[in-house]
Amino acid sequence: MPDFDVIDAAFDSLIEAIARRDLSSTLAAFSADHDAALLGSEAGESARGAAAIEAFFRRIFARPGSFRFEFPERSWTVHGAVAWLVAEGTVVEPAGLAAKSYPG
């Protein structure tokens, strides 16, 4: 049985790294495998492979300000070393002053 507390803690570390705009810690949350993938919430927000994921976050972190996410409701599915997350929460975008709903 997966330890969901450990999985939640790893996800929280990723959210905190993104808020700090810490590229090294953000990338550490992703597999270095060639088929690792990132799917964002906006059209065109996807990256496949370590180099593409790094390029994605370099673009995000080059913008002024930082994103702050909160996902109080999380549903995990785990198969082996892979975990999928379905979550709803809020995001405060760099230019935003208030949180808005964020489907994950």
List pLDDT tens digits, range 36-91.
Answer: 999 887 788 899 999 999 999 999 999 888 888 889 999 999 998 888 888 888 88
pTM of the model: 0.83
Task: Enumerate the domain spans of the chain.
Answer: 4-103
Domain 4-103: which CATH class? Answer: alpha beta
What are the helix and strand counts (H, E) for the chain? 3, 5
Q: What's the gap between Cα 32 and its chain centre?
A: 15
| pLDDT band per the 50, 70, 90 thresholds, residue 23 | very high
What local confidence, expressed as pLDDT, does residue 65 receive? Answer: 83
91 with 68: CB under 8 angstroms? yes
Instruction: State the Cα angle at 79 between 5 and 11, rounded to 5°.
Output: 35
Q: What is the pLDDT of residues 61-70, one digit of tens each?
A: 998 888 888 8
CA terminus-to-terminus distance, the chain: 24
47 with 56: CB under 8 angstroms? yes
| SS3 label, residue 34 | coil
